[in-house]
Amino acid sequence: MRHTTTAEYDYEVAVVGGGPAGASAGVFCAREGLSTVIFDRGRSSLKRCAHLENYLGFPEGIDIETLYGLFHDQAETAGCTIVPDMVESLRRSDTGDGFVVALQDGEPTTARRVVAATRYDGSYMRGLGDDDEMFETTEYDGETTESFDRGYPNHDGTTPVPDLYVASPSEESQQAITAAGRGARVAGEVITDARVDDGWWEAVAEGVDWVRREAELDEEWADREAWVDWFDEYFGEDAPVDVGTDRYERVREAAIEDRLSSYIEPDERASRAETAHEHLADHLDPEAVVAGCDDGELLDAIADDRIAAYLHGRSAEVSVDGE
């Protein structure tokens, strides 16, 4: 189901922090259609690493700048707005729902839900709930320090404060790859709650964001009526509304459309793969790409009509710029 931002809020979801947890949460929320903003001042704890060697998909590891750029590129491609500003505080809106996000430099922003995804500092959440429960005091070497209690949020990221979710800090944010998974897990709760607000019931609202081969739709499941029967069988009996009511019909239609839209044709698969490779290449050092390619494959690629057209277009740009 696609969502639209209500007039009450600037965004449906505000994510505080643009590291692996925050960017991951933003991607999932935005792909669901929730208008999402990520506030990132560029000081993620990930940037303290010299080189990341244990993030899946990079056999020789990857430099932090490239990975961080990929995070934000994917978030923006999914539909997120990224604001390079620091969140100083959160407070409830005057209506009692949603939040007002106060920024260090920019004007305050409002959001229906907030995902906290900063690794170390949770002081901006002060006053939203019971500070004694949210923060813990520790003594070390004669000094007393106060920090966000990682045990405050539930395992799914929900908190005692309605519509406030915590992806980080948590015990699952010690490594970049687990932090990204944590962000996705928390985003799932945000999406479920947003769907429930739209009239879905929880058993239906829990979903998975993935894309499947259209060939998996055999003759039976290519028929929409088969999906209607499936929905009625699995969700109809325990639905909080009667089958046939407007709400039931609306949710069933949205849930079926959500599942059917995940199936793509072979041509679409090929097109998406090609676009993905090109997008990835934009983040790579051209000399490293050339060095890593077989000479024959590289010459074949350069001879490809699409590559030639691209190079011709780039030459035209250079010519125009040089005038």
SS3 readout for 28-44: HHHHHCCCEEEECCCCC
* Residue carrying the six token digits 């000094």: 143
The total domain count for the chain is 3
pLDDT under 50 in the chain at which residues? Answer: 1-5
- Please say whether the beta carbons of 197 and 38 come within 8 A: no
Report pTM: 0.86
Q: For residue 297, what pLDDT is reported? A: 72
What is the extent of the structural domain holding 186? 11-197
**What distance in Å separates the CA atoms of residue 312 and residue 307, rounded to the nearest whole number?**
8
**What distance in Å separates the CA atoms of residue 153 and residue 164, rounded to the nearest whole number?**
9
User: Which tokens sit at 130?
Assistant: 């019971």
**Helix segments in 128-236, DSSP class H:** 131-134, 176-197, 202-205, 224-231
Q: CATH number, domain at 77? A: 3.50.50.60
Q: For residue 156, what pLDDT is reported? A: 93
Instruction: Tell me the one-letter amino acid at 244.
Output: G
Q: For residue 46, what pLDDT is reported? A: 80
Q: Are residues 235 and 137 in the same domain?
A: no
Strands 109-117 and 99-103: antiparallel
Q: For residue 8, what pLDDT is reported? A: 87
Q: Are residues 312 and 256 in the same domain?
A: no
Asked, for residue 2, whether it belongs to a domain, the answer is: no
Q: For residue 139, what pLDDT is reported? A: 80
Q: For residue 4, what pLDDT is reported? A: 45
- What is the radius of gyration, based on Cα positions, of the chain? 23
Count CB atoms within 10 A of the CB of residue 100: 16
Q: For residue 32, what pLDDT is reported? A: 94
